[in-house]
Amino acid sequence: MPTNASKTTVDRHYDLVIIGTGSGNSIPGPEFDDRSIAIIEKGPFGGTCLNAGCIPSKMYVHTADTALDIVESGRLGLQATVDSVDWPGIVNRIFENRVDPIAAAGEEYRRGPQSPNIDVYDQHAVFVGERTLRTGQGAQQRTISGDQVVIAAGSRPFIPDAITASGVRYHTNEDIMRLPQLPKSLVIIGGGYIAMEFAHVFEALGTDVTIIARSTLLRNLDDDLHHRFNTVAADRFDVRSGRTTIGADQTDRGITVRLDDGSSATGEVLLVATGRIPNGDLLDLPAGGIEMTNDGRIKVDEYGRSTSAAGIWALGDVSSPYMLKHVANAEMRAVRHNLLNPDNLQGMPHDHVPAATFSHPQIATVGMTESQARDHGHKVTVKVQDYGDVAYGWALEDTTGICKLIADQDTGKLLGAHYMGPQASTLIQQMITVLAFDLDVREFAAKQYWIHPALPEVTENALLGLTFRS
């Protein structure tokens, strides 16, 4: 029992308490059947990824990709149009037919006879002492404690003060996909991956999209991809780069956003996509002796343990330097191992983390940009390979896609890989393998077959285009 149990009345003590049912819900498996477990989740099971993030948004992206392919099919000698968009039907297909039943089934499983050692708490949780939390079940408030507590509470959208103070109706990723009707116009504040994916979705389905970005779009990309993407985006959207939102007003035309240069942008709907905040600040962490970093994450060591509170673990957006679902899943596997094997701890897996943006064109990256590689003192060799210079690129009539590889001239080791174009998130997987297994790219291209004329020839040609000292 916690040392402060005499000061707080504890209704139930557990071997393990888990806060959050995104990646955290994957911890309890057969190995934990002999442990008493509490799972705390105030929202739908599955976390952001299932309910309002990666999964439903990519279902929308695929729909948008299909619509855009039809609209742009003239370059292939076809005459085709999208005659109508059944937005309510799309929403129902994605949420009522797929996402919502999965979330409900996850909760039912944890509450049901299949999980006899698990109790579910559905009120918000806050720490009231060492490994002790106030939460509840239904209308009943409960105080529980645990030998071990895993915080996997995720993150939430960041809303600029100018928008909060304005009082206008705005949307975030948490509700924009459930709009009752497809808007005729949309203003998006933000220039990151969430903003770019939704800009693609709505524009492809017929909405006029205006983007307001404080700097440029996807500004952390390698320079070659960054410049090309911003050029392509400017042809599709009304992009207001280098602008700051200073206020917003509700009008009979929708929402008018006022900018720092005196201009404005009006849309029927406003989407705020200006980043995300770890949810640790909502848990009253100081009461549990849990420290946070300066940027708001729970402070953990290399194994995922709180640096200030014994028995506390954290994973995913609430603590990780990478707000990515595949990282949260990998961290969950490490924490699960560490809970089961306290004498043989695994480090948090943060090497060679890839990321993809499902915009149009699609983008995927892993490793260093060219400027980062040079800043780290590497003597680099670089190859930028156009999709349009390989046979399948001809089939696609692609004019903007590129693969950029960066390697060390002396060692032959890959330093970074960056793709922009069709299937980027799939094509990059081979380069993730190269980094993960520390392979020499001087041999990688020649020692395997590359199916002709498939799109991976983009990667093959990029590899063969790198030059080395020996």
Whole-number Å distance between alpha carbons of 148 and 35: 11
Whole-number Å distance between alpha carbons of 134 and 143: 4
What is the torsional sign of CA 200, 405, 392, 460? negative
Whole-number Å distance between alpha carbons of 400 and 389: 11
- Written as six digits, the tokens of 237 are 């959207």
Q: Which amino acid is at 39?
A: I
Cβ(84)–Cβ(5) below 8 Å: no
Residue 418 annotated as catalytic: no
Whole-number Å distance between alpha carbons of 462 and 445: 9
DSSP bridge partners of 142: 135
Q: How many CA atoms lie within 13 Å of 229's alpha carbon, on the beta-carbon side?
A: 30
Whole-number Å distance between alpha carbons of 399 and 268: 33
Q: Which amino acid is at 245?
A: T
Cβ(31)–Cβ(340) below 8 Å: yes
Cβ(214)–Cβ(243) below 8 Å: yes
Cβ(328)–Cβ(336) below 8 Å: no
Whole-number Å distance between alpha carbons of 217 and 195: 9
CA distances from 193 to 4, 218, 267 (A): 44, 7, 20
Cβ(34)–Cβ(116) below 8 Å: no
What angle (nearest 5°) sits at the alpha carbon of residue 461, between those of residues 458 and 467?
140
Q: How many CA atoms lie within 13 Å of 16's alpha carbon, on the beta-carbon side?
A: 27
Whole-number Å distance between alpha carbons of 382 and 202: 35
- Kindly state the helix (H) or strand (E) to which residue 393 belongs, with its residue range: helix 391-396
Catalytic residue among 62, 227, 376, 452: 452
Q: Which amino acid is at 392?
A: Y
Cβ(409)–Cβ(466) below 8 Å: no
Q: Is there a cis peptide before residue 101, judged by omega within 30 degrees of 0?
A: no
Whole-number Å distance between alpha carbons of 127 and 286: 8
CB count in 10 Å sphere of residue 336: 23
Residues carrying an active site annotation: 452
